[in-house]
Amino acid sequence: MIEEKLQKQLRNAMILVFCIVAVFLIFGGLFSVYMQNTKNEAIKNQIIAEAEEYKTRILKQLDADFQTLYSLSFFIEDSYTTDKKLFAEQLNKANQNNAFLTIVYYDRNGKGIISTTGQEPEIDASLSSLSPEGRRVVEMALEGEVSVSQLFESLISDNSVFVYSVPVYSGDEIVGALAASDHIEIFSDILSGNTVLGGGGYIHMIDSQGNFLIRSSKTVVETDIPSIFDGPYLSDSSREDVMNALQQQKRIFSSFSYEGKSYPFLLEPVGFNDWYLFCVNTGEGLIAHFSTSALVTQITFIAVLLLVILLMLYGYRLLRNYNRGLVRLAYYDSLTGAQNMSRFRQRLVEALRNIEGSVAAVSIRQFHFLNEIFGREKTNQLLCQIKTVAEQHLRKEEFFCRDTEDRFYLFLRETDYQTLRSRLKAFMTDIEQNSEISRTNYQLSLYCGVTVSPCCSNPEETADNLMTHVMFALARAKDSHSNSIWFFDTELHKKEELENYIESHMHQALRDGEFKLFLQPKKNLQSGMLGGAEALVRWNTNNGRMIFPDQFIPLFEHNGFCIKLDLYMMEQACRQIRSWIDQGISPIPISVNQSKLLFFEEDYVEILTEMVKKYNIPPQLITLEILEGLALENVDELNGKIVQLQQEGFRISLDDFGSGFSSLNTLGKLKIDELKLDRDFLFNASNNGNERVRLIMEEIVRMAKRLGISTVAEGVETAEDERLIQMIGCDAGQGYLYSRPVIAADFDDKYMKKSGSRKI
């Protein structure tokens, strides 16, 4: 039971622990996803922020270039018309001071000057000498618009260039167009820094077709590809998304894979031509720190979780072992390893729910001496051997335990006495003959008490009863040296129970007046009148039970309490006579039974004398009934006491004559006044029609008469009996024919208070 309970608690605890771990895992997972998202979001934000910044720088550069062109346009108009050569030189100078590749000026006639860094200025150059892209922006400027060309291959500088142009005014009139070309690399200075994404990324510039305009030297994809769509780096879906975004000049955030690693990137429109910044995060730098710390957090979390799980498992093992230890302590005997009494009782209750069986208790005779003779170690060994033998002898659904010291209890699935006896005999013989100790000269001997379980409805109660009964049987077996196996006997047990009650309650009963005076009448056979009464004790217990003297007198004679009880009854008899006298009723003699022990009380005679004096009654009204057995020990001493009592006025009657070792010899020696013939005489004489017994009775009565002893026949149950004792010559009769013993008050009502004769 405890084991199951503990297991259940442990299981629940473990479920709880696993739930907690599961919750941890879920939270850990969510946290990890959250961290990942945060990381991605952070990367995204950082890339966007940086792209914005680079975009601004590019636009600023463009803006600065335009400003330069504007400034130039202001002082150009006059000098061109006055001196073209000088103008060309000035233009050349201005070009050298700026970062442009080429600066051109065209008038409205399509004639102009081309100044290219490192070359002589070309005067009167025609518009057609320019590439179409250059020509177009110049034409647009001549029409008053500021514009920038797409990137194109310059015919002049063999470079991939783009051109800006601004109109040149004279007053409100457009007189020409100033244009400057620059190659795209002017931005690479801006883009090629090592600080892109805190060192963890790089930026290319591409156009809306995905073609590279500027390729960063830090690129992870080292293959020389003209477009981002070349090569297998973009997945199909992201390729499509990127294409769409580029067409619509929108910002897009995506990723590509290269050599097994994923690289997030941002495509940010520059806002100038169809140029895009292609910002790639390589996972290093600040973001890498962030990722590393996130990874460290995750690893720490998992490590802590693993540690927690390990600790839990360790705790579980500890707890389980502790529980097992508890169960062992609670249910097992530490010496032999057998189960203990608590477990046995539990199993007994469980077994009794379904099956019938018996409980046997087995012990070793003189166990304490064994300890003394062989020492503790050897006797402990013997107990362990008994455990082993018990295991060998028990069958399915049978079990046993060791209680304390040498006591073992067995539950056997047998109810048949014969089978039980032979199985237990075999078990005990096995131990007696095969133990270590039995190999010495010592004759090991076991004894055993058995009780068979009744069919039961209440297993708990039955188990308790069986355990109590088996103890009684064991105690009996211990006392009996001839019979080593003793079965519990219900009748015997009841008797023992009653005896126990009697002995433990007698003093209190005497104090509380539970012993009652009953009177049985004696009939004077000559007159047919009430001749006297015998005082007989009844024990009315306070729980309403009546106990008869046969059940307690022998015990009281044994434990000496009879002295007290007889004197008490004597006092009750005296009081009764006193009460009759006081009521003016002519008293009758009362016979009081006296136990053997009283006669050996030193001041016995004095006590009785005192008592009759106390109640002021004539001692002649008291007849003391003594048992013949007294005479067997010392007739002279007994006679001495009898004479003393007779001198004090008491009458002496010899009770139960003929029941034991009665002999006419004793009768002759004892100086008694009355002889009570035991009811066995009458029973045998009348019921069996036994002539010989009748003759013996007759002889005894005649002899008593000759000795001056009156005779009373006991056990007069029928009219036939009465006729017989009358014929024989008995003086009085006592028996159920006249009345059973009745409580003194009823006796009074029936015989004493009646006016008129006391005829029975």
Binding site for ligand C2E (CB under 6 A): 520, 536-537, 548-550, 553, 562, 566, 569, 593, 595, 625, 655-656, 679, 715-717, 734-736, 741
Residue (107 or 655) nearer to Ca ion, CB = 655
Nearest to 539 by CA among 573, 508, 493, 571: 508
Residue (214 or 536) nearer to ligand C2E, CB = 536
Residue (593 or 684) nearer to Ca ion, CB = 593
Residue (393 or 523) nearer to Ca ion, CB = 523
Smallest gap from Cβ 607 to ligand C2E, in A, equals 15
Among the listed ranges 166-174, 247-255, 652-660, 662-670, the one in contact with Ca ion (CB under 5 A) is 652-660
Smallest gap from Cβ 654 to ligand C2E, in A, equals 11
Smallest gap from Cβ 620 to ligand C2E, in A, equals 20
Residue (139 or 503) nearer to ligand C2E, CB = 503
Per-residue mark of binding to Ca ion, 565-594 (x: CB under 5 A): ----------------------------x-
Residue (414 or 674) nearer to ligand C2E, CB = 674
Give dist(CA 51, CA 205) in Å, integer: 11
Smallest gap from Cβ 459 to ligand C2E, in A, equals 41
Per-residue mark of binding to Ca ion, 699-738 (x: CB under 5 A): ---------------x------------------------
Smallest gap from Cβ 512 to Ca ion, in A, equals 25
| Burial group, residue 487, by CB count within 10 angstroms (0-12, 13-18, 19+) | buried
CA 716 to chain centre: 72
Strands 546-547, 590-593: pairing is: unpaired
Give dist(CA 687, CA 715) in Å, integer: 12
Smallest gap from Cβ 535 to Ca ion, in A, equals 9
Smallest gap from Cβ 658 to ligand C2E, in A, equals 11
Smallest gap from Cβ 562 to ligand C2E, in A, equals 5
Joined tokens for residue 529: 């009148």
Which letter does DSSP use for residue 121 in this model? P
Smallest gap from Cβ 715 to ligand C2E, in A, equals 4
Amino acid at 89: E
Backbone angles phi, psi at 175, to 5 degrees: -110, -20
Nearest to 722 by CA among 523, 520, 521: 523
- Quick check: 631 and 602 in contact, CB under 8 A? no
Give dist(CA 211, CA 230) in Å, integer: 9
Q: Which does 735 bind (CB under 5 to 8 A by kind): Ca ion, ligand C2E, none?
A: ligand C2E
Smallest gap from Cβ 547 to ligand C2E, in A, equals 10
Q: Which does 520 bind (CB under 5 to 8 A by kind): ligand C2E, Ca ion, none?
A: ligand C2E
Residue (74 or 548) nearer to ligand C2E, CB = 548
Q: Which does 285 bind (CB under 5 to 8 A by kind): Ca ion, ligand C2E, none?
A: none
Residue (130 or 573) nearer to ligand C2E, CB = 573
* Footprint on residues 656-695 left by Ca ion (CB under 5 A): 656
Residue (79 or 540) nearer to ligand C2E, CB = 540
- The Cα-based distances of 657 to 241, 337, 490, 679, 729 in angstroms read 134, 63, 34, 9, 16
Give dist(CA 148, CA 178) in Å, integer: 12
Q: Which does 553 bind (CB under 5 to 8 A by kind): Ca ion, ligand C2E, none?
A: ligand C2E
Q: Which does 333 bind (CB under 5 to 8 A by kind): Ca ion, ligand C2E, none?
A: none
The answer to the question of residue 655 lying near Ca ion (CB under 5 A) is yes
Smallest gap from Cβ 735 to Ca ion, in A, equals 11
Residue (112 or 658) nearer to ligand C2E, CB = 658
Residue (65 or 655) nearer to Ca ion, CB = 655
Q: What radius of gyration, in Å, describes the C-alpha atoms of the chain?
A: 66
Residue (411 or 518) nearer to ligand C2E, CB = 518
Give dist(CA 335, CA 4) in Å, integer: 24
The answer to the question of residue 748 lying near Ca ion (CB under 5 A) is no
Per-residue mark of binding to Ca ion, 593-632 (x: CB under 5 A): x-------------------------------x-------
Say which residue the tokens 């295991």 belong to.
Answer: 391
Angle of helix 285-331 relative to helix 2-82, nearest 10 degrees?
180
Angle of helix 285-331 relative to helix 341-354, nearest 10 degrees?
80
Amino acid at 739: S
The answer to the question of residue 406 lying near Ca ion (CB under 5 A) is no
Give dist(CA 388, CA 397) in Å, integer: 17
Q: Calculate the dihedral angle through the C-alpha atoms of 679, 681, 686, 692, rounding to the nearest 10 degrees.
A: 180
Residue (77 or 656) nearer to Ca ion, CB = 656
Joined tokens for residue 509: 């009963």
Residue (101 or 716) nearer to ligand C2E, CB = 716
Residue (265 or 518) nearer to ligand C2E, CB = 518
Q: Residue count at the site for Ca ion (CB under 5 A)?
A: 5
Among the listed ranges 115-123, 204-212, 649-657, 687-695, the one in contact with Ca ion (CB under 5 A) is 649-657
Smallest gap from Cβ 670 to ligand C2E, in A, equals 17
Joined tokens for residue 649: 């006025």
Residue (121 or 715) nearer to ligand C2E, CB = 715
Q: Which does 566 bind (CB under 5 to 8 A by kind): Ca ion, ligand C2E, none?
A: ligand C2E
Q: Which does 417 bind (CB under 5 to 8 A by kind): ligand C2E, Ca ion, none?
A: none
Give dist(CA 360, CA 427) in Å, integer: 11
Smallest gap from Cβ 627 to ligand C2E, in A, equals 7
- The Cα-based distances of 115 to 82, 145, 147, 169 in angstroms read 18, 22, 19, 20
Smallest gap from Cβ 600 to ligand C2E, in A, equals 14
Q: Which does 387 bind (CB under 5 to 8 A by kind): Ca ion, ligand C2E, none?
A: none
Q: Which residue has the CB atom at the shortest distance from ligand C2E? A: 735
Give dist(CA 245, CA 86) in Å, integer: 50
**Long-range contacts of residues 455-462, Cβ cutoff 8 Å, at least 24 apart:** 455/356, 456/352, 459/348, 459/349, 459/350, 459/352, 459/353, 460/349, 462/352
Smallest gap from Cβ 540 to ligand C2E, in A, equals 14
Smallest gap from Cβ 683 to Ca ion, in A, equals 12
Say which residue the tokens 């995905």 belong to.
Answer: 210
Sign of CA dihedral 141, 143, 145, 148: negative
- Quick check: 229 and 276 in contact, CB under 8 A? no
Amino acid at 531: G
Smallest gap from Cβ 501 to ligand C2E, in A, equals 18
Amino acid at 541: T
Q: Which does 142 bind (CB under 5 to 8 A by kind): ligand C2E, Ca ion, none?
A: none
- Quick check: 701 and 678 in contact, CB under 8 A? no
Per-residue three-class SS string for 13-75: HHHHHHHHHHHHHHHHHHHHHHHHHHHHHHHHHHHHHHHHHHHHHHHHHHHHHHHHHHHHHHH
- Quick check: 653 and 622 in contact, CB under 8 A? no
Nearest to 266 by CA among 60, 34, 40: 40
Residue (356 or 717) nearer to ligand C2E, CB = 717
Residues facing residue 262 across a β-bridge = 257
Interacting residue ranges for Ca ion, rule: CB under 5 A: 593, 625, 655-656, 714
